[in-house]
Amino acid sequence: MSIMDLKVNNPPDLSEPYKEFVRQMSDWYDGGELPERAGQDLRFTLELQRQKLHSLGLDMKCELKKNNGKIDVGGLSFGDRIFINTIVGGNMDLTRSIDCNHDQIYESTEDIGLSAIIQSLKTDTQPSADMALSCPHCGAPSTLGELEGGCKFCGTKFLMNELYPKVMNFFIYGKNDREKDRAKNKRDFARIFAVCCVPMLIIGVIANLFIDQTPSKILNIIYGITGGIFAGAYIAFMIFVFKKLFEVFSLMGKHSRGGAHTMSTLFYASKIKKYDPEFSSEYFRDKIMSLFKMAVYSKGAEELACCRCQCPDKAADIIEAQLFNFNINGCSIKDRVCDAEVTLFLDCLHYTNGKIKSKTDKFRMSIRKHIKNPTELGFSFAAVSCPSCGGSFDARHVKACPYCNTEYLHEEHDWVVTDIW
């Protein structure tokens, strides 16, 4: 094997696109432009989220700073005929602040893991020039060939390496910060100790004054104080241990969410894979999360072409959602129409009664797709090509081709949401 072959077969180095994406995301949450590195569906969810925040009078800023951890590029990937999606992870400090009418109502700094799903072209494939694609600059529906020659709407010309790699989705995982844990433990113990010590001191002193252990009053008081401190410390320690025990239990529950149904998830994923060999649970996870975000962030979920239901009331106050885990609870396939039911385990920020609350949430979702065609990792509703006339158009809000008026049935091309509860 020659060195040339090795070069061709090497996975692309995605650390630069990753860093670029992180910078662009920070800019976006600082009031800047939509991240050009982000794929069209991700750009759409970011836009919907900003619209929702603005309609509530909120301004959310997220500052991402890389801490000393390494960027992990070598990880997992999944592909179809044309694309390969690689999971690239890194550690960051995320400072999130939320303002309401210029008053800060929320701030948190967290040590997080951020994994980005980065899509690149397979080295041995060349996608066709008429592949539908959105212009990364103005978002207009276009095709690969048109974008290379110059976008019809904004005129921007793109080279292939500017169009790819692009980030399809990103996930944030909270990490345990040992330094912070230690500081919190100290604070907790000091607080409990103070609360326990004061009554114990009083009881100790009063009791020793009456018991008269020694003839000296001062010595009795000293005995009382020492006894009070020891008793207070002992009770405080017992309470502290109980408190930590409960915290560990609730944390264990939090970290094992969704773990009990891993087998059923794998079973149903392989059932779908029998019909669509390019289906993968990683792709499915990206898909259900972006569908959920679109439905929850948009003003009217039912107006979206990918959504056949309304946003449930209990999700109406969600302003930020991150997926922790998911389960596939069931899946029926009839005439190649697949109806799947999934559970999403999420970490969300809710905005209720003027306050931001961080909560763990669980939502069920029914989704549907005609699985007669294999998975297309590059598919986006923002730029589709009409199966009848070949024209490319933005199908996010329309149900028919604007050129030939043929009905465009979304579930024939990608997953759509039929219910959320």
Considering only residues 15, 153, 162, 261, which one is a binding residue for Zn ion as defined by CB under 5 A?
A: 153
Q: Residue 293's closest CA among 269, 325, 315? A: 315
Tell the smallest beta-carbon distance from residue 400 to Zn ion (Å): 8
In this structure, the number of other CB atoms found within 10 A of the CB of residue 275 comes to 13
Which of the stretches 132-140, 178-186, 244-252, 282-290 binds Zn ion when contact is defined by CB under 5 A?
A: 132-140
Return the structure tokens found at 371.
């699985």
Contact flag: residue 384 with Zn ion (CB under 5 A): no
Tell the smallest beta-carbon distance from residue 189 to Zn ion (Å): 59
Contact flag: residue 402 with Zn ion (CB under 5 A): no
Considering only residues 230, 234, 249, 403, which one is a binding residue for Zn ion as defined by CB under 5 A?
A: 403
Alpha carbons 210 and 144: distance in angstroms, whole number: 92
Alpha carbons 352 and 355: distance in angstroms, whole number: 5
Contacts of 255 (CB under 8 A, 6+ apart): none
Considering only residues 386, 395, 417, 420, which one is a binding residue for Zn ion as defined by CB under 5 A?
A: 386
Tell the smallest beta-carbon distance from residue 386 to Zn ion (Å): 3
Tell the smallest beta-carbon distance from residue 134 to Zn ion (Å): 8
Alpha carbons 298 and 295: distance in angstroms, whole number: 6
Contact flag: residue 388 with Zn ion (CB under 5 A): yes
Which of the stretches 157-165, 168-176, 215-223, 386-394 binds Zn ion when contact is defined by CB under 5 A?
A: 386-394
Tell the smallest beta-carbon distance from residue 81 to Zn ion (Å): 24
Which of the stretches 5-13, 153-161, 275-283, 284-292 binds Zn ion when contact is defined by CB under 5 A?
A: 153-161
Considering only residues 8, 129, 154, 316, which one is a binding residue for Zn ion as defined by CB under 5 A?
A: 154
Closest CB to Zn ion among residues 136, 378? 136
Contact flag: residue 401 with Zn ion (CB under 5 A): yes
Alpha carbons 387 and 227: distance in angstroms, whole number: 85
Contact 417, 289 (CB under 8 A): no
**Binding flags for Zn ion, 340-379, as an x/- string (CB under 5 A):** ----------------------------------------
Contact flag: residue 96 with Zn ion (CB under 5 A): no
Tell the smallest beta-carbon distance from residue 158 to Zn ion (Å): 9
Contact flag: residue 135 with Zn ion (CB under 5 A): yes
Contact flag: residue 398 with Zn ion (CB under 5 A): no
Considering only residues 389, 398, 399, 409, which one is a binding residue for Zn ion as defined by CB under 5 A?
A: 389
Closest CB to Zn ion among residues 319, 386? 386
Tell the smallest beta-carbon distance from residue 166 to Zn ion (Å): 15
* CA dist list (Å): 68 to 62, 65, 71, 92, 254: 19, 10, 10, 8, 27
Closest CB to Zn ion among residues 126, 406? 406
Alpha carbons 92 and 150: distance in angstroms, whole number: 36
**Where do contacts with Zn ion occur on this chain (CB under 5 A)?**
135, 137-138, 140, 151, 153-154, 386, 388-389, 391, 401, 403-404, 406
